[in-house]
Structure 1
Amino acid sequence: MTFTTISNVRVFDGEHALENRTVTIEGTVIVSVGPSNLDDRAVTATGEAIDGTGKTLLPGLIDAHTHSSLDALRLALQFGVTTELEMGGVLTAPKRTDIETNDDIADVRSSGFGLTPPGGHPFEIIPEGAFPGEGEPGFGEIVMPLSTTPEEAVAFIPELIASGSDFIKFLIEDGSAANAPGLPMLDQATLNAGVAEAQRLGMLTVAHTLTVGATRMAIEAGIDGLAHLFVDEAPTPEIIDLIASAGVFVVPCIVLNSSIIGLTGAEFATDTRVSSKLAPHWLATLQSSFNHYPAGSVDDVLATVRALHAAGVPILVGTDASAPDPSLGGLAHGASVHHELQMLVRAGLSPVEALAAATSVSAKHFGLTDRGRIAEGLRADLVLVDGDPTSTISDTLNIAAVWRRGSKVQM
């Protein structure tokens, strides 16, 4: 069994910043976290000792909204994202046996495909051949829960569970924010029935909600979490109170909303800590945008996040990164998590609160009890960075080392 000791390091444990700590990894888990002392500089015959002076150790980052693939998971890990939560795709439990033990790529949990009517979102935006997983073994075996009635929605829930979905997603999209007005859309009765059945069977439920109208529908149905933030209106006290009173969590995906409004990731991509890790096709994607709803306002999106945070609504970091295609642009796996962290701070979260949104808060709400924090006995998914992102959030990009299940990633 090999050991890794990181001493004299600032630790963000998922909730708080702790100064001058020593963290020891044995195999795949964290075995100790405590104050540093001079003895921590020793190197054992079977281990590595790292002096963390001037550095910060973070839990592995979690992207709570992606559409994943093996290539995407490999890229994510290079940016310290050790877990992705796939909100539509093929990487359900039976499809990721090799992923769980492959420490060269990020881990993943998946909804499978979300409930939507035939011809509904997201099929209007998927370029031919660009859908994550298309052409990969087992793609055709994935449950496609196309639903137009409450009875169909209820019947699909156990099928999704049996096929290995980790949570259940509902797509509430009329196309008004997706440059496709008039899209077929789940009605309230179908949504209500599907959510109720999923929760009856013990499943977490999340909803795609890019408009205030869709948000209201999801809240009425009793959804557990919103996988998007509305982009079509400025926040009002009434809608903020509705969301807060419902007890839901929100994955605002500010970077995605910015892209929908027409802003690209080009400025963010000028940071060489970002661009140096992106292949040309990913860089081109990051530098582009969806540009589906130019009437929107990023200031309104930021104001909504600020108001929700002030109202005590749990905020999670997510990006909606998907395939390397400019029509799905403004986003890149891994990189856009750091962009989202910066946007959350711009919205009014403190750096510590933003970091929690990318670690412990996501882990808590998605039941990932073995990760998202730095504590004894937890999985050794870790990111070591130069500097102090608990005060300067952009320091998360100063990646010095990444561990996935205690295995040091080749950077």
Structure 2
Amino acid sequence: MTITAITNARVFDGERVLQERTVVVQDTRIAAVGGPVPAGAQVVDADGGTLLPGLFDAHVHTGEPALALALRFGVTTELEMQGINTEPNRAHITDNDAVADVRSAGFGITPPGGHPSELIPEGFTFGGGQGAPQRRPATMPVMPFSSTPQEAVDFVPQLVASGSDYIKFMVDDGSVEGHPGLPMLDQATLNAGVAEAKRHGMLTVAHTLTVDATRMAIEAGIDGLAHLFMDQPHTDEIIDLVAASGAFVIPCVVLDASMMGITGHALAQDPRVSSRLDRAWLDTLNSSYNGYPQGRLQDVLDSVKALHDAGVDILAGTDVSLPETFLGGMAHGASLHHELQYLVQAGLTPLQALRAATHTPAHRFGLDDRGRIAAGLRADLLLVDGDPTTTISDTLNTRAVWRRGTRLTAA
């Protein structure tokens, strides 16, 4: 039995700052919040630092090296929105405390030739870096290409059987990516697929980058939007529509910025970031998608604030994927901290931004064993210097990371 006591910490429990300043970890779980230090415990003196739940990135495309990189930045859970890390393919990840944990949609329902096929250049071969592709999956993923309601309905049980944790739908005509006219799910197909997923008890999410796609997803009864529209300013009508539906939103402001040609250069210049990234990821962070340069970042930030003020649950996510410059502007782990900074720039308080990366995604994705600091939960923890509940950029002042009670050693 291993017991660790983290003392003299400012404790943000996922929702608020606690009066208690000691957290006791026994093996993989949080044993106590507050109270005395148990005899024989290994003591970690936080010395005025802040202890947070391990962070979530609620929108990624990932693999083992990327999960390891994310953990170095205190991201202990990544939610994959297109990829192979479904339940049968992640047994080697679940018990590996040197990488972040992961949940996955598998592959999203989209028409043949639809998004995201336009993103991969012809003749592309995967490069290297800290996010290089992982091992061949034990179970090959379902490729749910659907053009009719019946096809979408038929693919949902296949996705469920293959271990998808939630079902994703691509609603994208390619206009934002600079590829207008892509095949796109129509309303009837989207409606049928979402209804079938709900019949199987599955959470549903939609890729939506425009206001029209957002309306389609809400009309279909989607549980969450994996993006925030970026093609126009918000209106009261679209904000009210999303709020009334109860859907959550993962804005991925860093992705929207990248689509507008805004790179992650400033983040890459931060020594707290550059010291943890290899050249491939630094090159990626210093690049951008640049598919929609006519967009306005302030419109996106204003929409985030309007949704939050209307009571919509905001989840922190990035849409980070591979260390390739054509997918630029983001890096695993690092860009989640950038997203938190954008949420505060939009008008959320640091506490509200931190909830968006801890308790809120855990709750909305049904991972109630994490996302908070409370007795009995997983000991997924991040200790930082400073006070990110007042200065959000302090989340990058990593002092220690624990995944299931195992402290990450220096890479």
The TM tier, using the shorter chain, reads over 0.9
Partner of 1:210: 209
How far is the alpha carbon of 1:20 from its aligned partner? 4.8
Task: Find the counterpart in structure 2 of residue 3 from structure 1.
Answer: 3
Residues 175 and 139 of structure 1: is their aligned pair in 2 closer, same or farther, counting only changes over 3 Å? Answer: farther
Structure 2 equivalent of residue 92 of structure 1: 86
Aligned 8 A contact 1:90 1:139 in 2: no
The answer as to whether partners of 1:383 and 1:402 remain within 8 angstroms in 2 is: yes
Cα distance between partner residues in 1 of 2:329 and 2:133: 22
Aligned-pair CA distance for 1:43: 6.6
Higher mean displacement: 167-176 or 127-136: 127-136
Could you say which residue in structure 1 is the equivalent of 2:266?
Answer: 267
AA partner of residue 196 (structure 2): E
**Which residue of the partner structure matches residue 78 of structure 1?**
72
In the superposition, the TM-score normalised over structure 1's length comes to: 0.96
Residues 300-332 of structure 1, C-alpha deviations (whole Å, 9 max, x = no match): 000000100110100000000000000000000
In terms of mean alpha carbon deviation, does 390-399 or 17-26 score higher?
17-26
Q: 1:122 to 1:76 in 2, by over 3 A?
A: same
**Structure 1 residues 89-133: Cα deviation after superposition (integer angstroms, max 9, x where no partner):** 000000000100000100000000000000100011024234988
Q: AA paired with 2:74?
A: G
Call closer, same or farther: CA 1:406–1:179 in 2, change over 3 Å: same
Do the aligned partners of 2:50 and 2:383 also contact (CA within 8 Å) in 1?
yes
Alignment of 1:2-401 (within 5 A): 2-34=2-34, 40=37, 44=40, 47-127=41-121, 128-130=124-126, 136-138=135-137, 141-401=140-400
How much has 1:299 moved relative to structure 2? 0.3
1:252-303, Cα deviation, whole Å (9 max, x unpaired): 0000000001100001111100111000000110110000001100000000
Please list the CA deviations of residues 6-44 of structure 1 after superposition, one character each: whole Å capped at 9, or x if unmatched. 011110000001245110000000000015xxx64x871
Structure 2: distance between partners of 1:21 and 1:138: 43
SS across alignment from 1:21: coil
Q: How far is the alpha carbon of 1:186 from its aligned partner? A: 0.5
CA contact under 8 A between 1:43 and 1:49: conserved in structure 2?
no
Structure 1 Cα separation of the partners of residues 197 and 243 of structure 2:
22
**What's the secondary structure of 1:63's corresponding residue?**
strand
For residue 408 of structure 2, what is the amino acid of its counterpart? V
Structure 2 residue matching 1:300: 3-state secondary structure = helix
**2:88–2:139 Cα contact (<8 Å) kept:** no
User: Could you tell me whether the CA contact under 8 Å between 1:380 and 1:403 is conserved in 2?
Assistant: yes
- One-letter identity of the residue aligned with 2:228: L
Q: CA deviation at 1:135?
A: 7.6
> Quick one: which amino acid aligns to residue 201 of structure 1?
H
Tell me the CA shift for residue 140 of structure 1. 7.4
| Percentage of pairs with the same residue | 62
Q: Distance in 2 between matches of 1:175 and 1:241?
A: 26
> Structure 2: how far apart are the matches of 1:329 and 1:130?
15
C-alpha deviation, 1:51, in angstroms: 1.2
3-state SS in 2 of match to 1:18? coil
Give the partner amino acid of 2:149. Answer: P
Letter in 1 for 2:32: S
1:28 counterpart letter in structure 2:
T
Answer whether contact 2:63 2:133 (CA < 8 A) is retained. Answer: no
SS of the residue aligned with 2:117? coil
Deviates more, 1:120-129 or 1:153-162: 120-129
* CA distance, structure 2, for counterparts of residue 230 and residue 120 of structure 1: 18
Question: Following the alignment from structure 2 to structure 1, what is the Cα–Cα distance between the partners of residues 368 and 132?
Answer: 27
Q: Which amino acid counterpart does residue 9 of structure 2 have in structure 1? A: V
TM-score normalised over the length of structure 2: 0.96
Q: Secondary structure at 2:24's aligned position in 1? A: strand
Aligned-pair Cα RMSD in Å: 1.4
- Taking the aligned partners of 1:61 and 1:129, their CA distance within structure 2 comes to 31
Q: How far apart are 1:410 and its partner, in Å?
A: 1.1
How far the C-alpha of 1:52 sits from its partner, in A, is: 1.4
How has the CA–CA distance of structure 1 residues 9 and 134 changed in structure 2, closer, same or farther, with 3 Å as cutoff? closer
Runs of 4+ in 1 over 6 A off after TM superposition: 131-135
Distance 1:140 1:121, change over 3 A: farther
1:84 partner letter = E
Partner Cα separation in structure 2 for residue 216 and residue 101 of structure 1: 40
**CA distance in 2: counterparts of 1:201 and 1:297, whole angstroms:** 39
The code of the aligned residue for 1:55 comes to G
Mapped to 1, the partners of 2:132 and 2:264 lie a distance apart of 25
How far the C-alpha of 1:141 sits from its partner, in A, is 1.6
